[in-house]
Amino acid sequence: MGTELLFIGLVRQSGHLFFAYWLVATLGNVLGAWLMLMLARWARQTGVVASKWQPARATERYLQRWGTPLLGMAWLPVVGDLLPVAAGWLRMPLAASAFWLTLGKAARFFLIGYWLV
């Protein structure tokens, strides 16, 4: 919740810079999720982590059922951090993963900021 609190404080202080704050918050959150996705992908590919390890069985099942659009929910608390890790572990398509991660995180910050401004 640190990102959201900082974003809210900045938007309330100087709302005329909303777009800049929205862009930076979205970019930072997407890069963090992308890093988790790529590290999980790398760990599975190189065998650094035993292949029997699974990020979370329920998250994996949902991703296999719903595919990359589920990554749009990566902004949710707790499970949101597991989604990119599971997507990387399952080697989901990178372009589609990036699209849905970005869409979900951008929408979250836009709605938070729009509600404040």
Q: Rg of the Cα trace of the chain?
A: 15
For the purposes of burial, counting CB atoms within 10 Å of the CB of 79, is it exposed (0-12), middle (13-18) or buried (19 or more)?
middle
pTM for the whole structure: 0.83
Residue by residue, pLDDT tens for the chain (117 residues) are 678 888 988 999 988 899 999 999 999 999 999 999 999 999 888 877 765 666 567 777 888 888 999 999 998 887 888 899 989 988 999 999 999 999 999 999 999 888 876
Structure-token match 């990387």, residue found = 88
Number of domains the chain contains: 1
Side-chain-facing half-sphere of 54: CA atoms under 13 Å: 8
CB atoms within 10 A of CB 5: 9
Q: Which domain holds residue 82?
A: 2-116
For residues 25 and 1, the answer to whether their CB atoms sit within 8 Å is no
